[in-house]
Chains A and B, each alone.
Chain A
Amino acid sequence: DQQVKQNSPSLSVQEGRISILNCDYTNSMFDYFLWYKKYPAEGPTFLISISSIKDKNEDGRFTVFLNKSAKHLSLHIVPSQPGDSAVYFCAASVQGAQKLVFGQGTRLTINP
């Protein structure tokens, strides 16, 4: 039972354009969402998060949008850079709890 789903295993975007990664969740108790980035042979690293009291959080080139009614969140990267090529994991939890549920990941490739 996948409570957090990333339906696109891979995404290819041209350098300088916008990358949009999507994530859906089924558990309405989730109220804290995170994105992690993973390079090959390394562990995931925290990128950005959002609480359910917000619908948008921005950090530099990265913006996360949350649509609670649709149980959907997305990560926007603009402009995309070659160094953004990595696997991106969406994760969710109940605030105050440390049990994160991860999606399966989306491999983003930025083409020069």
Chain B
Amino acid sequence: DAGVIQSPRHEVTEMGQEVTLRCKPISGHDYLFWYRQTMMRGLELLIYFNNNVPIDDSGMPEDRFSAKMPNASFSTLKIQPSEPRDSAVYFCASSLGAGMGSPLHFGNGTRLTVT
């Protein structure tokens, strides 16, 4: 299996522009997560889905952030409009099932820079 695939690997954009990050989870995994990594706060959970349905979006910073999962093999995280403080590495992860014995498998991340 190719693992969790994220695109793009790097994104540089200007403040105010729309940014869309993409994720393809591991086939057969029923949970999908979006995390953000910053120096100050480490890895923060933004939102997660179970069977394509958003379960918990309490970590989404504000209305500028939105995430969708139209099918089991694709998810997007959109920021509109983007701001410099959104600069971070965004990780997508997937897992099979919940709890013990179901570790998260992470993609290699998208490094977002907003100037």
B35 contact set on A, CB distance < 8 A: 102
Complex contact B103–A34 (CB within 8 A): yes
Kindly supply a per-residue 1/0 record for chain A positions 86-105, scoring 1 wherever the CB is within 8 Å of any chain B CB and 0 otherwise. 00010101011111111111
Complex contact A43–B93 (CB within 8 A): yes
Complex contact A43–B91 (CB within 8 A): yes
B42 contact set on A, CB distance < 8 A: 6, 89, 102-105
Q: Which of A61-112 contact B (CB under 8 A)?
A: 89, 91, 93, 95-105
Interface core residue of B4, B48, B98, B103 (most chain A CB under 10 Å): B103
In the complex the two chains form, what is the Cα distance from A107 to B91 in whole Å? Answer: 19
A41 contact set on B, CB distance < 8 A: 108-109
Number of A residues near B (Cβ < 8 Å) is: 27
Complex contact A44–B43 (CB within 8 A): yes
- For B56, give the chain A residue with the smallest CB separation: A99
Complex contact B95–A98 (CB within 8 A): yes
B98 contact set on A, CB distance < 8 A: 96-98
A98 contact set on B, CB distance < 8 A: 31, 33, 48, 50, 95, 98-99, 102, 104
A59 close to B (CB within 8 Å): no
Which of A's residues lie within 8 Å of B, judged by CB? 2, 6, 32, 34, 36, 41-46, 49, 51, 89, 91, 93, 95-105
Q: Could you list 15 examples of A-B contacts with CB < 8 Å?
A: A2-B41, A36-B104, A45-B106, A46-B104, A49-B100, A93-B99, A95-B100, A96-B99, A98-B33, A98-B48, A98-B98, A98-B104, A99-B56, A103-B42, A105-B43
Which of B's residues lie within 8 Å of A, judged by CB? 4, 31, 33, 35, 40-45, 48, 50, 56, 91, 93, 95, 98-100, 102-109
